[in-house]
Homo-oligomer: A and B are copies of this chain.
Amino acid sequence: MSERIYTGKLTEAMINEEVLLKGWVQKRRDLGGLIFIDLRDKSGVVQVVFNPDKSQEALEIAERIRSEYVVEVQGTVVKRDESTVNPNMKTGTIEVFAASVTILNKSKTPPFAIQDETDVSEDIRLKYRYLDLRRNALQETFKLRHQTTQIIRNFLNDNEFLEMETPILTKSTPEGARDYLVPSRVHPGEFYALPQSPQLFKQLIMMSGFEKYYQIARCFRDEDLRADRQPEFTQIDIETSFLTSDEIMEMTERMMQQVVKEVKGIDMELPLQRMPYDEAMDRFGSDKPDTRFGLELIHVSDVLAGSTFKVFQGAIESGGKVALLNVKGEAANFSRKDIDKLTDFVKVYGAKGLAWVKVEGDELKGPIAKFITDDEKAGLLEKATATDGDLLLFVADKTSVVFDSLGALRLKLGKQLELIDESKFNFLWVTDWPLLEYDEELGRYFAAHHPFTSPVEEDLDKLETDPANVRANAYDLVLNGYELGGGSIRIYQKEQQDHMFKVLGFTEEEAGEQFGFLLEALEYGAPPHGGIALGLDRIIMLLAGRSNLRDTILFPKTASASDLMTNAPSEVSHAQLDELAIKLSERNTVN
């Protein structure tokens, strides 16, 4: 018997050869006493023909074959007639005449057909994930994921990085998102936590003298899930000693250049654009701007400083601002009803309303036009480079609301008006992030990234006096409006880390309890260090042109963190809980 060959490797060069094929029956058709099956394996599909002249016995077995049966076929490669060539199939100019066939395993009728497009509900597809994964689109996504991962590894290996594994059973550090906890049997009443990221371990790896570390690392966050969040996710985790933020960014962009080149065949120009956080917010109302299209925010507080329109006046006087989007040439296409819908949309982001005017000739039309003086009009038209037929959409509010609502509205209109060139891969760095964020409810500052991020040298003296304006030595990598990840230069001096915890409101005892091992490690020759972490799942999603993060994870969980295939999480036995010295709280045991 010949050796098995993959269907995708069959070519016209092999005509008349005997081949052994193994795979799944994609579909079966009966026609004029013959049976045709499309035989699928990991490499592709080929048509197999059962012909009574070739083998009556094989034909009889083929009659019992159904979709998704697993079969082994021995046969001869033949050229198809011109009339039966299938140009949509890679092997469409040939077929295999079966001499024999063996049914290796049967299949019930699948709950949905294994084909590229499917309209079956996602819940059904997740329950039968092993069937969904047989679809070509998902097969290709996981090949791409494999390829991308290897490109990244090869790049880092070539740059003298060591791949290292950090623990999954770690210590709970409540700062940040919620930890998943793991009760300890050996130490009753104590718990491990699953890592939200290997942050502290990778810093300790630097303190261990390894200098260049990476890991394709599993991370865990027990957060309320959104479409683009999963309880476990994978990040490309990198840390280096003795490199500057510029050097880390340069290396990272060369890595991404390699990925985009090999996976998409696109040449990416370096260096990537770098944009300070303040500029990103001002121009795009977003800290992860999609720069594939314009429609930038236009700031008009100065023009409207003396406005008699109460909404503008109020926002400006209370320290907020007025900004607008100029929807070029679209005035005629937006009815009052259309604009009402946009108003509802921005309200989700906290805006009290959406003011608007249409430019008609050199006049402004619309309900608020009457509040706008000629001077103001001239100023607005100039700033917005607005001309006949434009639609101007205003938000006047607290600065953060103006950014959030106009930033979101910009993205919505960008898609709706098809302003986005979907073939583009627009990477950019967002830099000069604020180090700290004030939580009004709790009345204290929080680390905008994490408490180990170093402040920019020249802002150090503001840590006490003007914490809100201290910039972090941090950088985020953004692609087409998605944050791929970010990094920073870390604090490496004990005194500065102590200081940071103090600014964040930790008592010395609290800092010691949670991070004592780090503080101690900083006293034994910690090198200057920094790194980056990039979300692999999201990178794959964008490279594969998909819109759902679940499509990039082999066995994903639902929005309620369930695995619909295995039915995890699930109840466990009393004996298991007893061994762990835990009990369920009342509200469960009642159920």
How many copies are assembled? 2
Q: Are A569 and B211 in touch, CB under 8 angstroms?
A: no
Which partner residue on chain B sits nearest A492 by CB separation?
Answer: B105
Q: Are B133 and A210 in touch, CB under 8 angstroms?
A: yes
The answer, among B133, B168, B181, B563, for a CB contact under 8 Å with A218, is B168
A1-24 at interface with B (beta carbon < 8 Å)? 4, 22, 24
- What are the residues of chain B within 8 A of A157 when measuring CB–CB? 150
- The smallest beta-carbon distance between A304 and chain B, in angstroms, is 47
The answer, among B42, B69, B130, B200, for a CB contact under 8 Å with A212, is B42
Which partner residue on chain B sits nearest A231 by CB separation?
Answer: B169
The answer, among B22, B190, B569, B587, for a CB contact under 8 Å with A570, is B190
Contact count band on A: 35 or more
Q: Are B232 and A587 in touch, CB under 8 angstroms?
A: no
Q: Are A105 and B526 in touch, CB under 8 angstroms?
A: yes
- The smallest beta-carbon distance between A107 and chain B, in angstroms, is 4
Q: Are A557 and B234 in touch, CB under 8 angstroms?
A: no
A162 within 8 A of B: yes
Which of A266-274, A317-325, A572-580 makes up part of the contact surface? A572-580
- The smallest beta-carbon distance between A352 and chain B, in angstroms, is 34
In the bound assembly, the distance between CA atoms of A180 and B193 in angstroms comes to 12
Q: Are B210 and A139 in touch, CB under 8 angstroms?
A: yes
- The smallest beta-carbon distance between A67 and chain B, in angstroms, is 8
Q: Are A150 and B172 in touch, CB under 8 angstroms?
A: no
Q: Are A588 and B164 in touch, CB under 8 angstroms?
A: no
- What are the residues of chain B within 8 A of A105 when measuring CB–CB? 492-493, 525-528
A66-92 at interface with B (beta carbon < 8 Å)? 68-70
A187 within 8 A of B: yes
Q: Are B242 and A22 in touch, CB under 8 angstroms?
A: yes
A60 within 8 A of B: no
A181-202 at interface with B (beta carbon < 8 Å)? 181-194, 200-201
In the bound assembly, the distance between CA atoms of A199 and B178 in angstroms comes to 29
A153 within 8 A of B: yes
Q: Are A192 and B525 in touch, CB under 8 angstroms?
A: no
In the bound assembly, the distance between CA atoms of A524 and B145 in angstroms comes to 26
A171 within 8 A of B: yes
A131 within 8 A of B: yes
- What are the residues of chain B within 8 A of A241 when measuring CB–CB? 22
Q: Are B24 and A209 in touch, CB under 8 angstroms?
A: yes
Q: Are B527 and A166 in touch, CB under 8 angstroms?
A: no
A368 within 8 A of B: no
Which partner residue on chain B sits nearest A205 by CB separation?
Answer: B554
- The smallest beta-carbon distance between A9 and chain B, in angstroms, is 11
A548 within 8 A of B: no
The answer, among B527, B573, B584, for a CB contact under 8 Å with A582, is B584
Q: Are B517 and A565 in touch, CB under 8 angstroms?
A: yes
A129 within 8 A of B: yes
A167 within 8 A of B: yes
In the bound assembly, the distance between CA atoms of A139 and B210 in angstroms comes to 7
Q: Are A568 and B169 in touch, CB under 8 angstroms?
A: yes
- What are the residues of chain B within 8 A of A584 when measuring CB–CB? 188-189, 581-583
Q: Are B527 and A184 in touch, CB under 8 angstroms?
A: no
Q: Are B568 and A69 in touch, CB under 8 angstroms?
A: no
- What are the residues of chain B within 8 A of A579 when measuring CB–CB? 178
A403 within 8 A of B: no
Which partner residue on chain B sits nearest A523 by CB separation?
Answer: B108
In the bound assembly, the distance between CA atoms of A178 and B69 in angstroms comes to 37
Interface centre among A181, A242, A562 (most CB of B within 10 A): A181
- What are the residues of chain B within 8 A of A578 when measuring CB–CB? 585
The answer, among B70, B188, B222, B563, for a CB contact under 8 Å with A588, is B188
- What are the residues of chain B within 8 A of A108 when measuring CB–CB? 523-524
- What are the residues of chain B within 8 A of A205 when measuring CB–CB? 130, 133, 554
In the bound assembly, the distance between CA atoms of A105 and B209 in angstroms comes to 13
Q: Are B524 and A110 in touch, CB under 8 angstroms?
A: yes
A549 within 8 A of B: no
Q: Are B525 and A209 in touch, CB under 8 angstroms?
A: no
A-B contacts, 27 listed (Cβ < 8 Å) = A4-B242, A24-B525, A25-B525, A41-B209, A68-B524, A104-B527, A105-B492, A106-B525, A130-B207, A130-B521, A130-B524, A131-B524, A133-B210, A149-B163, A165-B218, A166-B554, A169-B563, A172-B568, A172-B576, A174-B576, A178-B579, A181-B576, A184-B561, A188-B584, A189-B584, A189-B591, A191-B572
Task: Please name the 3 residue pairs, one residue from A and one from B, whose CB atoms are nearest each other, closest first.
Answer: A189-B588, A133-B208, A107-B525
Which A positions have Cβ atoms within 8 angstroms of B? 4, 22, 24-25, 40-42, 68-70, 104-108, 110, 128-131, 133-134, 139, 142-143, 145-146, 149-150, 153, 157, 162-172, 174, 178-194, 200-201, 204-205, 207-212, 218, 220, 222, 231-232, 234, 241-242, 492-493, 516-517, 521, 523-528, 553-555, 557, 560-563, 565-573, 576, 578-585, 587-589, 591
5 more contacts with CB within 8 A, not counting A183-B582, A218-B218, are A24-B527, A108-B523, A150-B153, A581-B588, A583-B585
